[in-house]
């Protein structure tokens, strides 16, 4: 689906074109808001990266979830499937993680509580992914429709579970998880950054290894490149696609650890919303490369956190909008870079 060239120079050129275009559009928007772009950009960089530890911590907090949902999109796309179901997978993980954490006895030791909650988050997401994959492979149902429907269904069911079972006396917050299931904070001026960043990085390395060093990874990429050719070499295309969707679901489900175990320590209405869709941006911006996705997530996290850091200068909606601009620019710059590459070689 994504004609991603494997030539690193061209990839770099595409990203450079896209970032320059985004910088230009962002500057134009700042002019619209009546501010000098240079000043606002500098303030954003200065506060987020140098002077305000909290803002830097928030970059890591936001990037942690984006890395996981970004990897989720990329592994599905490796198998030729467009995973737009990240929203539902994350929410399923959040509900499962929070319910399990709250059901544990108060004194449960971390050595049991933390792995259990991590596994439950991944399994809940994987279940959604499996359903999308099975519907696609066995019933020929387009994964985009199934995903859209499941996103709506999971959001509704999560709200229902919250209202019926979890929310305490008129709030939209559920009971707290057992203290043993909480992940330690990383500090950074009291920011939400937490140890689940390790989990995200482990997933990055695992996916890199899987894609580049294993036969399974080669089969995955072969299915994405040309299903018919993959089938001819004896690869079971359907099975690979279902496994890829299960893995995609598990990765997105893991983002729940960042929200529930690392930050809120309870189920909250709306927790984790939006990060599934933004993961698509992270995957595309990172050119489907696990390490590229880390860089892209940090950039998107920077825009989001930096936007808040300069909120008294320009409306924070500006950087929200810019996230869309970046994706549009990356998608358009790829083909431009390819054409330029053809012309020069």
Partner 1 sequence: MIAALFTTAFLAQIVRIAVPYVFAALGGSLTERSGVIDLALEAKLLFGAFAAAAFSHASGSAAVGLIGGMAAGALTAAAQLGCALWLEADQVIVGVALNLLALGGTRFLLQVIYHEGANSPPAPAFGDAIASNPLVLGAVVAAILVPLAVKHTRWGLRLRAAGDRPDALVAVGVSPRRTRMYAALVGGALAGAGGAQLSLAVGGFSADMSSGRGYIALAMIILSGWRPAIAALACVGVAIAEALNILIQITHATIAGHRIPSELAPLLPYALTIIVLAIYNGRSRQPPASLGKL
Q: Give the residue with the Cβ less far from partner 1, 200 or 283.
A: 283
Cβ distance to partner 1 smaller for residue 127 or 144: 144
Instruction: Determine the angle formed by the axes of helices 275-285 and 53-78, rounding to 10 degrees.
Output: 80
Which one, 87 or 182, has the nearer CB to partner 1? 87
- Other Cβ atoms less than 10 A from the Cβ of 139: the count is 8
- Residue 31 near residue 343, CB atoms below 8 Å: no
Can you tell me the distance from the alpha carbon of 205 to that of 213, in angstroms, rounded to the nearest whole number? 11
DSSP labels, 60-124: HHHHHHHHHHHHHHHHHHHTT-----HHHHHHHHHHHHHHHHHHS-TT--HHHHHHHHHHHHHHH
In the chain, which residue ranges form alpha helices assigned H by DSSP?
A: 8-32, 37-45, 53-78, 86-103, 110-139, 143-161, 196-213, 215-225, 227-232, 237-256, 275-285, 290-309, 317-344
Nearest Cα to Cα of residue 83 among 139, 161, 135: 135
Q: How far is the CB of 312 from partner 1 (least distance, A)?
A: 12
Closer to partner 1 by CB, 154 or 260: give it: 154
Q: Is the dihedral of CA 334, 338, 340, 345 positive or negative?
A: positive
Round to whole Å and give the CA distance between 268 and 89: 16
The residue among 129 and 262 lying less far from partner 1, judged by its C-beta, is 129
Q: Which is nearer to partner 1, 161 or 195 (CB)?
A: 161
Closest distance to partner 1 from the beta carbon of 148 (Å): 5
Nearest to 182 by CA among 258, 122, 69: 258
Q: How far is the CB of 116 from partner 1 (least distance, A)?
A: 27
**Interatomic CA distance for residues 188 and 54, integer angstroms:** 5
| 108: Cβ contacts below 8 Å, ≥ 6 apart | 178, 180, 181
CB of 306 to partner 1, least distance (A): 14
Going from the C-alpha of 13 to that of each of 3, 18, 23, 242, the distances in angstroms are: 15, 9, 15, 34
Beta carbon nearer to partner 1, 3 or 343: 3
Q: Which is nearer to partner 1, 114 or 154 (CB)?
A: 154
The residues that touch partner 1, with contacts defined as CB under 8 A, are 1-3, 29, 32-33, 82, 84, 135, 139-142, 144-146, 148-153, 156-157, 159-160, 163-164, 277-278, 280-281, 284, 315, 317-325, 327-328, 331-332, 334-336
Min. distance of Cβ 102 from partner 1 in angstroms?
20
Q: How far is the CB of 285 from partner 1 (least distance, A)?
A: 10
For the bound state, the minimum distance from the C-beta of residue 323 to partner 1, rounded and expressed in Å, comes to 6
SS3 249: helix
Q: What are phi and psi of 194, to 5 degrees?
A: -145, 180
- The least distance separating partner 1 from the CB of residue 3, rounded to whole angstroms, comes to 7
Rounded to the nearest whole angstrom, what is the least distance from the CB of residue 13 to partner 1 in the complex? 15
**Residue (144 or 195) nearer to partner 1, CB:** 144
């Amino acid at each position: 689906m994504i004609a991603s060239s494997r030539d690193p120079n061209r990839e770099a050129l595409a990203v450079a074109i896209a970032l320059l275009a985004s910088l230009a559009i962002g500057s134009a928007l700042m002019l619209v808001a009546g501010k000098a772009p240079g000043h606002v950009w500098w303030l954003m960089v200065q506060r987020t990266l140098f002077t305000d530890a909290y803002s830097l911590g928030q970059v890591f907090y936001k990037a942690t979830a984006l890395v996981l949902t970004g990897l989720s999109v990329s592994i599905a796309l490796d198998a030729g499937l467009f995973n737009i179901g990240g929203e539902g997978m994350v929410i399923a993980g959040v509900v499962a993680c929070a319910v399990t954490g709250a059901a544990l006895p108060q004194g449960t030791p971390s050595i049991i509580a933390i792995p259990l909650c991590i596994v439950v988050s991944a399994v809940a997401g994987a279940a959604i992914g499996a359903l999308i994959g099975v519907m696609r492979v066995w019933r020929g149902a387009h994964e985009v429709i199934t995903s859209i429907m499941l996103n709506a269904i999971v959001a509704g069911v999560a709200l229902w579970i919250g209202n019926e079972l979890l929310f305490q006396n008129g709030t939209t917050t559920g009971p707290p998880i057992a203290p043993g299931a909480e992940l330690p904070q990383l500090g950074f001026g009291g920011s939400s950054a937490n140890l689940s960043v390790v989990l995200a990085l482990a997933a990055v390395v695992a996916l890199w290894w899987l894609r580049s060093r294993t036969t399974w990874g080669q089969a995955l990429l072969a299915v994405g490149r040309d299903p018919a050719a993959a089938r001819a070499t004896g690869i079971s295309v359907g099975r690979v696609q279902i496994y890829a969707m299960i893995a995609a679901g598990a990765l997105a489900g893991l983002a729940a650890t960042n929200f529930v175990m690392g930050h809120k320590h309870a189920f909250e209405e709306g927790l984790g919303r939006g990060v599934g869709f933004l993961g698509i941006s992270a995957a595309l911006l990172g050119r489907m490369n696990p390490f590229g996705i880390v860089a892209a997530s940090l950039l998107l996290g920077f825009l989001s956190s930096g936007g808040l850091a300069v909120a008294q200068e320009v409306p924070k909606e500006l950087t929200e909008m810019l996230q869309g601009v970046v994706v549009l620019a990356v998608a358009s710059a790829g083909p431009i870079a390819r054409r330029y590459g053809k012309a020069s070689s």
